[in-house]
Amino acid sequence: MALFWSEGLLVRSARGRTCFFNRLTADYTVADGIFTPAAGSALTKEEEDALSPALFAALEKAGLLCPSPSGPSAAPEDAPCLEHINFLVTDGCNLGCTYCQIEKNLTAGRVQDLSVSDAKAALDRLKAFVPEDARVTVNLTGGEPLVNFETVNFLLGYASECFGSLRFSLFTNGTLLDSRIARILKEYNVLTIVSLDGPEEIHDKRRRDLGGQGSYARSLEGYRTAQAEGCSCALSSVACEETLSDIDTFADWAISLRPLSLGYNYPHLLLGHPGGTFEVSRYTAAILALHRKMQGHGIYLENYERFRRAVAAKRVRRRECQACGRGITVRADGKFGPCKSLLVSDRIVLCPETFDYSSDETVQSWAARTPLSKAECRKCDALAICGGGCAYDAYILHGDPIAFDERLCPHFRAIMDEILYDLCIRGGTDGGDPLFGTVGH
């Protein structure tokens, strides 16, 4: 019987080894030697002779050698499954960052805190849609969530009563993070993610308080206080000209702070400014450089590792964002929506009183947002990892969150190439997430 190399085949070689990867299923095998088969082609006699019996069997098992060039497809699309609940506990903030999606997108005149009663009502409504065996992530953000610590503290306690398997994360600028708050965050094992954009002179250009003063010293003090109290601490940074131009200095600064993880994030678009100034190629180069430095220090680079670990676990990432069929956001007035930026700007708002996660039309349409269902995307080398990118940025660019942000296509392909190179060098590794213990969707 004739055999074909699957149309999903990707082949990358490095240092005398070859990674055979199936972009349709994320299955792969790594072998010694250099091989150059072509996707969709018939297996030649020369190629068959070059394959050892063990490698031949591994390629068949991975669906890379098969009776038809089409090969296996990804697993059937799964239904929406609520696993992430995000609370915007306040619209307010004590800083005025230049790139803030919340402040810049917030509907004029609506600045408020999420009350304890509205937080409870939202959680009571949403917990009914969470599967019994799900490990739930409750993310607390804002605005600056510590402006409304009463509701943060309530949610930590009440969510712990509602769910058997639970993890918390908190996004904060750190300026209000004192020892008392840090001890409470430690008690609930909250992943405390502090926004610091780099060394002081870089950070303070973009992250000033409402009086125009820089916030670096206070943010760093809060971060170090949380570390001293034993919190699991991470850094979140937004890429800017200075750090893109000198990524080694930025990396050394981040390493010196000893975070559990680092997010080096590209700036999202703002309503009314669809063009933006984001240079994808420079950002990609920065992520790859950071990856190579962070891995030597045991720091989880979120913008690379979430892709690599999914591949290591042989799992296709159907979605880049939990808003697409895995999560819901509650804003400060108790209303629901899939995406915080589109929620605060009143673009997509769902009524909590009648909300049903399993049947809501908006949830269903967002859950179907995956490159696996798009014919042109299925030919892309990055199909197994990209997940379609950010739905909010797609909305700004195209007026439709179900569209994709094509600016990032070269970025995801470059990340895929680096992952396959890593696989050639080191082979597969455990796909578990060191922050939360699972690979995300």
Q: Check whether residue 60 and residue 118 sit in a common domain.
A: no
Name the domain boundary from 287, 312, 337: 312
Q: Please state, as a whole number, how many other Cβ atoms lie within 10 Å of the Cβ of residue 426.
A: 12
What distance, in Å, lies between the first and last C-alpha atoms of the chain?
A: 37
Whole-model pTM: value is 0.90
Confidence grade of residue 432 (pLDDT, cut at 50, 70, 90)? very low
pLDDT for 50 equals 95
Confidence grade of residue 102 (pLDDT, cut at 50, 70, 90)? low
Among residues 151, 218, 226, 222, the alpha carbon closest in space to that of 185 is found at 226
Q: Does residue 336 lie within any of the structural domains?
A: no
* Residue 158: domain span: 84-312
Q: Is the pLDDT of residue 56 over 90?
A: yes
Per residue in 116-139, pLDDT (tens digit) is 999 999 999 999 999 988 899 999
CATH number, residue 247: 3.20.20.70
* Domains identified in the chain, total number: 2
Q: Check whether residue 229 and residue 291 sit in a common domain.
A: yes
Q: Check whether residue 136 and residue 276 sit in a common domain.
A: yes
Q: Does residue 358 lie within any of the structural domains?
A: no
pLDDT for 188 equals 97
Q: Does residue 340 lie within any of the structural domains?
A: no
d(CA 77, CA 373): 9
Confidence grade of residue 65 (pLDDT, cut at 50, 70, 90)? very high
Q: Does residue 125 lie within any of the structural domains?
A: yes
Q: Does residue 298 lie within any of the structural domains?
A: yes
Confidence grade of residue 239 (pLDDT, cut at 50, 70, 90)? very high
Question: Residue 16: helix, strand or coil by DSSP?
Answer: coil
CB-based contact 239:277 (threshold 8 Å):
no
Q: Is the pLDDT of residue 385 over 80?
A: yes
Per-range mean pLDDT, top range of 51-65, 94-108, 389-403, 417-431: 51-65
Per residue in 175-222, pLDDT (tens digit) is 999 999 999 999 999 999 999 999 999 999 989 888 889 899 999 999
Q: Is the pLDDT of residue 436 over 70?
A: no
Q: Does residue 367 lie within any of the structural domains?
A: no
pLDDT for 76 equals 62
Q: Does residue 343 lie within any of the structural domains?
A: no
Q: Cα angle vertex 14, ends 11, 19, to 5°? A: 35
